[in-house]
A = this chain, B = another copy of it.
Amino acid sequence: MDTPLIITIGREYGSGGHEIGSLVASKLGIDFYDKQLITLAAEKSGLSHDYIEQNEQRAKSSFIQNLAASTAYANGFFSTQYLPLSEAIFISQAQVIRDIAAKGPAVIVGRCSDYILAGRPNTINVFIHAPIEVRVARIMKLKNIDEAAAMKLISTSDKERGNHYFRYTDRKWGKAQNYDISVNSALLGIDRTVDMLISLAQIEELHVEND
């Protein structure tokens, strides 16, 4: 197939989605993008890496920012420098994601990449989730924090991801119909989930219907 394979991964915080994506990419020998999208978007937008990292999923446009954006739109300026910064970040990341998808096969984590690449052939949209107790245990271990702190991190992060996704796609984050396959990573564990996704990706005549 001419269009390179792209696997997008949406994931609940603590579900192992990042690790699963990274393993799928390395086993398939293709590129993997997660946090690196921040650096690439920074280069594209002129915003600093740290600013994007802190703000990419916290869309809190101020009145002044929106006013400036409306004025810019009205005057025919569409450059990202006239947009509220949260919109500028989103647009830069969307451009970066489209560039990546045009270049070669890759696994891309988060950043509404399923929505940004909607309709693209040879794209598998994956959502990884897990029961809350499994995610809490995972985050406690990974970050060496207690249960309450892990629970708070998960709840805040999922809320941000859900809001961010809804804001830019007008779709519900984690709604099965938005993905080709959604998996509870605790059903099979990380390694077997990786194997299952690799088997999927290796089906050559894969016919993907995006809507």
A200 to B196, CA, bound (A): 9
CA distance A174 to B203 in the complex (A): 26
Interface string of A108-148 (1 = CB under 8 A from B): 00000000000000001001011111100000000000000
Number of copies of this kind of chain in the complex: 2
- Chain B residues, Cβ within 8 Å of A209: 130-131, 133-134, 184, 186-187
Separation of A209 and B200 alpha carbons in the complex (Å): 23
Question: Does the CB pair A179–B180 fall under 8 Å?
Answer: no
When A132-B211, A133-B211, A134-B209 are in contact, do A182 and B188 touch as well, CB less than 8 Å?
no
Q: Tell me which residues across on chain B come within 8 A of A200, comparing CB atoms.
A: 187-188, 196
Which residues of A line the B interface, CB within 8 A? 12, 124, 127, 129-134, 172, 174-177, 179-184, 186-189, 192, 196, 199-200, 203, 206-211
